[in-house]
């Protein structure tokens, strides 16, 4: 697969997270000539938090994580790429339990401390025997989390991604860091379902606080991106706090939240930039809505509209389609006070095209890789920003052509 034109120049240099060990391994379960298993091991007492897909047909791994998360601690996360282990019935549950048990054996921890994620084809039985046989070899490869290990781990969880995704931030005023890896190239990739993100910090954070900070960071990052409006059976974000830096989140709540937000937002943007067929990174901001939630609903209606997304692909300043999307969002909007900007160009205000509007200037903005659409719906103070990409022939090629 050709690297996305919106990809960063290279994988970032990521710092180690004290206490985190990483391994990846090529088990050949679906892919050949690449790692398809990833393991991260963390010390006793590590707090774990997370958010899971809202799909009502979740994968076996998501079901497993749902059972474990209330415990608030864990020792490992293991992820396989190539098979989602979703809609696989009892065999899927059994395979998930066997995976956790095998890693628990290798690490001498409890199976109930081993988190799971699976990404890939839905409905195919996971080759349990081959997977379980590979897991001890995966565990043998554990090494401290240096930058090469992060890059290998990020690569091992990819499916249709065109590049591996990682990000880091320091927790200001402490020695602690936050490092995350993610995969995804669509809110759901074709067959290869799933957006996954695993984020680690060596700050000491209690489980309840970690969950709260995670929920808040996810809401402002992964829950604000959309490629094709589809939701995976397997979406999973897990956060691990080892405490091994010696620094604590107590008294550092704000700086920790800031670092976590920064890592998750960067990873979320990297997923959009790898959107299937994407040629434009698009930021949609809505202001003046009834409340923030209403603004987000309107912003997502614009970001998910196939008509808006195809116009962006064509670099066509077709702002009537933005009006259409605002109108269908079902949230209050005052047509006679509606204002629209493309980049910095005021396109429409007071319910009509602006006198000063220059389609040439709007088009010039649309010709760049990074596009901004701003809408003021003229009702109250609610606002929200979401991110998406354009809809191109590349999306059809990838999704109509993939399985064959």
Catalytic positions, written as ranges: 194
Give yes or no for residue 311 binding its own copies (CB under 8 A). yes
**CB of residue 219 vs its own copies: minimum separation in angstroms?**
18
**CB of residue 327 vs its own copies: minimum separation in angstroms?**
3
The sign of the dihedral angle between the CA atoms of 75, 46, 259, 254 is positive
Give yes or no for residue 212 binding its own copies (CB under 8 A). no
Give 368's contacts (C-beta < 8 A, 6+ positions apart). Answer: none
Give 129's contacts (C-beta < 8 A, 6+ positions apart). Answer: none
Give yes or no for residue 82 binding its own copies (CB under 8 A). no
3-state helix, strand and coil shares in percent for the chain, rounded to the nearest 5: 35, 25, 40
User: Residue 342's CB: how many other CB atoms inside 10 A?
Assistant: 25
Give 228's contacts (C-beta < 8 A, 6+ positions apart). Answer: 186, 187, 188, 275, 276, 304, 391, 395
Site string for its own copies, 169-198 (x = CB under 8 A): -------------------x-xx-x-----
Whichever of 145 and 160 has its CB closer to its own copies, that residue is 160
Give yes or no for residue 229 binding its own copies (CB under 8 A). yes
Three-state secondary-structure class, residue 367: coil
Q: 213 burial class (0-12, 13-18, 19+ CB within 10 angstroms)?
A: buried
Query: What number of residues does the chain have?
Result: 404
**CB of residue 354 vs its own copies: minimum separation in angstroms?**
11
Give yes or no for residue 34 binding its own copies (CB under 8 A). no
Of residues 335, 356, 367, 369, which one binds its own copies by CB under 8 A?
Answer: 335
Residues 107-136 that bind its own copies (CB under 8 A): 121-123
Element (H, E) at 327: helix 320-328
Whichever of 24 and 53 has its CB closer to its own copies, that residue is 53
Binding window for its own copies (CB under 8 A); candidates: 88-96, 102-110, 127-135, 162-170: 88-96
**CB of residue 339 vs its own copies: minimum separation in angstroms?**
12
Element (H, E) at 140: helix 128-140
Residue where the block lists tokens 């565990």 = 139
Of residues 45, 246, 320, 368, which one binds its own copies by CB under 8 A?
Answer: 320
Q: Phi and psi for 141 in degrees, rounded to 5?
A: -85, 5
Whichever of 122 and 178 has its CB closer to its own copies, that residue is 122
Q: 108 burial class (0-12, 13-18, 19+ CB within 10 angstroms)?
A: exposed
Give 287's contacts (C-beta < 8 A, 6+ positions apart). Answer: 295, 374, 375, 376, 377, 382, 383
Binding window for its own copies (CB under 8 A); candidates: 70-78, 166-174, 203-211, 311-319: 311-319
**CB of residue 222 vs its own copies: minimum separation in angstroms?**
15
Nearest to 40 by CA among 246, 267, 201, 217: 201
Binding window for its own copies (CB under 8 A); candidates: 36-44, 138-146, 225-233, 241-249: 225-233
Binding window for its own copies (CB under 8 A); candidates: 151-159, 204-212, 259-267, 301-309: 301-309
**CB of residue 89 vs its own copies: minimum separation in angstroms?**
4
Whichever of 275 and 343 has its CB closer to its own copies, that residue is 275
Give 56's contacts (C-beta < 8 A, 6+ positions apart). Answer: none
Of residues 321, 341, 366, 388, which one binds its own copies by CB under 8 A?
Answer: 321
**CB of residue 334 vs its own copies: minimum separation in angstroms?**
9
Residues that bind its own copies (CB under 8 A): 53-58, 84, 86-89, 91, 121-123, 188, 190-191, 193, 228-233, 304-307, 310-311, 313-314, 316, 318-321, 323-333, 335-336, 338, 348, 350-353, 391-393, 395-396, 399-401, 403-404
């Amino acid at each position: 697969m050709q690297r996305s034109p919106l990809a960063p120049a290279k994988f970032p240099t990521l710092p180690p997270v004290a206490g985190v060990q990483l391994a990846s391994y090529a088990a050949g379960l679906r892919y050949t000539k690449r790692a398809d298993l990833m393991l991260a091991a963390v010390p006793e007492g590590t707090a774990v938090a997370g958010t899971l897909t809202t799909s009502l047909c979740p994968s076996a791994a998501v079901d497993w994580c749902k059972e474990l998360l209330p415990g608030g601690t864990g020792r490992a996360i293991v992820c396989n790429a190539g098979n989602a282990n979703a809609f696989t019935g009892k065999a899927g549950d059994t395979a998930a339990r066997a995976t956790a048990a095998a890693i628990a054996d290798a690490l001498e921890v409890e199976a109930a401390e081993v988190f799971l994620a699976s990404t890939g084809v839905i409905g195919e039985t996971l080759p349990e025997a081959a997977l379980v046989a590979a897991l001890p070899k995966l565990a043998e490869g554990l090494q401290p989390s240096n930058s090469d290990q992060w890059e290998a781990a990020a690569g091992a969880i990819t499916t249709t991604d065109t590049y591996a995704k990682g990000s880091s931030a320091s927790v200001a005023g402490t020695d602690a860091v936050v490092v995350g890896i993610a995969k995804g190239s669509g809110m759901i990739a074709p067959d290869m379902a799933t957006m996954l993100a695993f984020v680690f910090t060596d700050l000491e954070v209690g489980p309840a606080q970690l969950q709260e900070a995670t929920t808040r960071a996810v809401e402002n990052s992964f829950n604000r991106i959309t490629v094709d409006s589809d939701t995976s059976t397997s979406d999973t974000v897990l956060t691990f706090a080892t405490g091994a830096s010696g620094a604590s989140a107590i008294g550092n709540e704000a700086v920790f939240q800031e670092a976590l937000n920064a890592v998750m937002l960067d990873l979320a943007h990297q997923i959009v930039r790898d959107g299937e067929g994407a040629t434009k990174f698009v930021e949609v901001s809505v202001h003046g809505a009834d409340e923030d939630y209403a603004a987000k609903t309107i912003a997502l209606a614009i970001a998910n509209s196939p008509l808006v997304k195809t116009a962006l692909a064509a670099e066509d300043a077709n702002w009537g389609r933005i009006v259409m999307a605002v109108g269908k969002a079902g949230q209050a909007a005052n047509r006679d006070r509606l204002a629209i900007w493309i980049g910095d160009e005021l396109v429409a205000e007071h319910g009509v095209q602006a006198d000063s509007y220059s389609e040439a200037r709007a088009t010039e903005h649309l010709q760049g890789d990074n596009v901004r659409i701003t809408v003021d719906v003229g009702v109250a103070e609610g606002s929200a920003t979401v991110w998406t990409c354009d809809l191109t022939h590349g999306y059809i090629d990838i999704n109509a052509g993939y399985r064959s």
